[in-house]
Homo-oligomer: A and B are copies of this chain.
Amino acid sequence: VTRLSARAVGGIPEVSAGDDLAALIVAALGEEPLGEGQVLAIAHKAVSKAEGAVVALAGVHPGARARELAARIAAEGGQQKDPRAVQVVLDESAEILRSERGVLICRTRHGFVCANAGVDASNSAGPDALVLLPRDPDASARKIRERLRTLLSGRRGEEAAAPAVLISDSFGRTWRYGQLDVVIGLAGMQPLDDWRGRLDAHGLELQATWLAVADAAAATADLARAKDSREPVVVIDGLERYLSTEDGPGAAALLRAPAEDLFR
């Protein structure tokens, strides 16, 4: 019987630029086991802050397009947007897909489609600071995994097997209300489980079935987390069948090629 479980890790302090996030996580876990067969899911803000992917609005000079977009959003009755914040969103975007109803739907430089290019206000870094997505979230996941392997090996006195590392953000969806956590960076877990063409329990070919298992894991982690608490990290057990020693293709493999997308 498969049993899936997820628990939030308490006691992780506020993260600042330059912090060794993997070390903070290992310290917070104490004697709780972490390793092979587990997924360590991290809300991206902790990763972004550790990497210094934070922008102070005071140093941003909005260009003409940012000022124009901010004015249009205000005119449409959307949430008031600081033109400097809009400039930061534009800097993070490869393409603006929609700017309606006070919302900017962007394709980020990485290829993610989400509101405001993933740029968030930071509660902890002050009202004047914005948190960006990590520069290369798959690389961030690989680095954290490698650092965990080193730290866990040291602790156990042997070469340790590292958990998979999953970095998530909350994205809105088309057609449905509410946000859902999805994976933006991944190492050591397959992002997709491809059953197309395989046979089912009846020996018949399964219909097109191509499961976004890493996104499902990100959604699971968010359910184990209380939004008002400082719990960026969740440990998931029970996904061994999707894990690998190799880092694998990362979350980039989840991004539909723009040319293949029916909704632009």
Binding site for B on A (CB under 8 A): 1-8, 10, 79, 98, 100-101, 103, 105, 112-113, 120-121, 123-124, 127, 170, 173-182, 191-193, 195, 198-202, 204, 206-213, 215-217, 219-220, 222-230, 238-239, 253-256, 260-263
Contacts and interface: CB of A to CB of B under 8 A. Distances in A.
A256 B201 CA distance: 36
9 contacts: A2-B7, A173-B173, A176-B256, A177-B254, A178-B213, A180-B211, A180-B216, A217-B223, A220-B223
B123 A212 contact: no
A170 B209 contact: yes
A15 to B, nearest CB: 14
A18 to B, nearest CB: 21
A247 B255 CA distance: 37
Contacts of A8: 1-2
Contact of A226 (B2, B182, B192, B199): B2
A226 B198 CA distance: 13
A255 B213 contact: no
A176 B182 contact: yes
Nearest to A227: B195
A28 B185 CA distance: 39
A229 to B, nearest CB: 6
B223 A4 contact: yes
